[in-house]
Chain A
Amino acid sequence: MSQAPVPAAPPAPERPLPTPTRDSQPFWDGMREGRFLLQHCSSCGKVRHYPRPVCSHCFSMESEFKEAPLGGSLHAWTACHHPFNFFFKASTPYIVALVDMDAGVRVNAQLHGVPESALKIGLRVKLGFEPVNKEVTLPVFVAE
């Protein structure tokens, strides 16, 4: 009996990457430069995230991106064990932390270097920058 052909190795899974919109492009440009830029209303000054065309506070469509502080406090978290996308299989379990940034918005990002047992609401963390390719840098949290 002849040996069954060895199936070709499946292509390595790729990380899902953001597709910036016209509204969010400045945020991702900032991340690539290692700067945490947030959208502020040019009229009333209110900060908003994720980026979008209209200030829901005063309805102005004018806005500007300004560099924001990197600190924040833990609001909630989950430790992801099941990789719903195979790219993440090798890194499970990983912690995704939802953080109340001192800048007044929330950011969701993986938390590195802090054990799950140490997590509690209010834990201070700091946003860092993790380049994944030439165009894209993702936020990551580390202990403050």
Chain B
Amino acid sequence: MVHPLRDKAAVSGIGETAYTRGTSKSGLALQLEASLRALDDAGIDPRDVDGVIPYFPGGAIAEDFIANLGLKDLTLSAFIPMGGATCVAGIQMAAMAVTTGVCKHVLISVGRTGYSGQRVSTRLQQFPVFAQAAEFEAPIGMFAPAQLYAQGARRHMELYGTTARQMAEVAVVTRQHAILNGNVVMNKPLTVEDHHASRMIADPFRLFDCSLESDGGAAVVISATERAKDLKKPLVTIAGTAEGHPDSPASIAQRPDLLEFGLVKSAPRAFAMAGVGPKDIDVAEIYDCFTFTVIRQLEILGFCKTGEGGPFVMDGRIALGGELPINTHGGLLSQGHVVGLNHVIELTRQLRREAGKAQVKDAELGLVTGYGDMGDGSIAILRRAA
């Protein structure tokens, strides 16, 4: 049986602000700016938005959108507290809302002053899921995602021989892609030597294994395919989407397998919903809070076996022109950190064939993941339906 959500909803609009280090704008203003761009891109009157899923915690609530954009009749207001998995999980919720008729157009937005406002070690503690880590791990000196995820990366290295050179490759290729984009924080070439010489943050993560702290906003509009097909941009449908939560969700330490993220559960669901497999994917935007996180997700997604993610990323395979180009916009590592909504935007551009110098030729089917909140994993498989 074809899944009732398959291709029934579409990414109808995309918008983003400049990605910078330093801004005078608030997180709310950045979200509204990006939202107006996304709605203009879709050709939708802002007043017709009836669902809003703002990033939490991120300085905006759905009511702010009524006040600023004049929404006439908001029928869905939701937060999805899944950290870096939030935005792509929002696609699942929005797809359900527009497919069932609860909403016509759902806005998913992020505005973040991650450089000029609160930095990562402050922000994390606002997450509800952080309570256990705050009680048992912060007192011994474990606060930040870099530290909390480092132990899993170290274990992968010890068990499978994954190397710093392989992690560097993810950073270097991602930077090459960022330079093609134009709207990025990091626009100078990065070498493997630069990576290896960067300061250690939490072993095995060096500075250039870590995503950026930056300022910026991003937004996407999700509409029913029936409505979106008459809008002005090429149609990009949501073929499959899912969220997953790991066992021991609030404590990585107590997780039976440190390397089993929520994506282990959500990826097979999304592939089944879309009726496709990893071999059908032309381009992938993989949540890259850390280089290693990309390597492990490629394994979980089935592009290679567990333990083979390190060798998989080498030899140009993940670069433009390679077998599986990833993070063609520069990702969180080099473009900017808007919690992965920039990954959704880039994948939509690729499938519309609007990706400029980073365009993957003839891209028909792509995949985007979200990862965060100690290991939640969300995924969307998008299809060019124009």
Please state if A88 and B201 are interface contacts (CB–CB under 8 Å).
no
Most A Cβ at <10 Å: residue of B136, B150, B152, B158: B136
Contact of A50 with B158 at beta-carbon distance under 8 Å, contacts A81-B200, A85-B121, A85-B141 already known: no
The stretch of B71-79, B223-231, B250-258 in contact with A is B250-258
- Stretch in A1-9, A11-19, A63-71 with 4+ CB within 8 Å of B: A11-19
A79 touching B200 in the complex, CB below 8 Å, given contacts A50-B251, A84-B120, A121-B159: yes
For residue A97, which residue of chain B has the nearest CB? B151
Q: Let me know if A78 is at the binding interface, CB within 8 A.
A: yes
> How would residues 117 to 131 of chain B score, 1 for a CB under 8 Å from any chain A CB and 0 otherwise?
000110000000000
Residues of B within 8 A of A35 (CB): none
Is there contact, CB below 8 Å, between A96 and B199? no
Q: In the complex, A118 Cα to B200 Cα: how many Å? A: 19
Please, which residues of chain A bring their CB within 8 A of the CB of B253? 98, 106-108
Q: Is B203 an interface residue (CB 8 A)?
A: yes
Q: Is the CB of A108 within 8 A of B144?
A: no
The reply on B143 being an interface residue by CB < 8 A is yes
| Chain A residues closer than 8 Å to B151, beta-carbon distance | 75-78, 96, 98
B195 to chain A: closest CB distance in Å?
A: 15
- In the complex the two chains form, what is the Cα distance from A90 to B136 in whole Å? 21
Residue of A nearest to B251 (CB): A50
Give the size category of B's interface with A: 20 to 34
CB-contacts of B132-167 with A (<8 A): 132, 134-144, 146-147, 150-152, 154-155, 158-159
Q: Are B258 and A138 in contact (CB under 8 A)?
A: no
Docked complex Cα distance between A78 and B186 (Å): 27
Chain B residues within CB distance 8 Å of chain A: 120-121, 132, 134-144, 146-147, 150-152, 154-155, 158-159, 199-204, 251, 253-254, 258
CB pair A16–B134 under 8 Å, yes or no, is yes
A49 within 8 Å of B by Cβ?
yes
Classify the interface of chain B: helix, strand, loop or mixed.
Answer: helix
Tell me which residues across on chain A come within 8 A of B140, comparing CB atoms.
Answer: 96, 108-110, 138-139
Task: Please tell me if A45 contacts chain B, counting CB pairs below 8 Å.
Answer: no
**A17-B139, A76-B158 known; 8 other A-B pairs, CB under 8 Å?**
A20-B135, A24-B135, A50-B135, A81-B199, A82-B146, A85-B141, A96-B141, A108-B253
Which residues on the B side are within 8 Å of A49 (C-beta)?
Answer: 254
17 examples of A-B residue contacts, CB within 8 angstroms: A16-B143, A19-B135, A24-B135, A50-B135, A75-B151, A76-B151, A76-B158, A78-B154, A80-B141, A81-B199, A81-B203, A85-B121, A85-B138, A96-B141, A106-B253, A107-B253, A108-B140
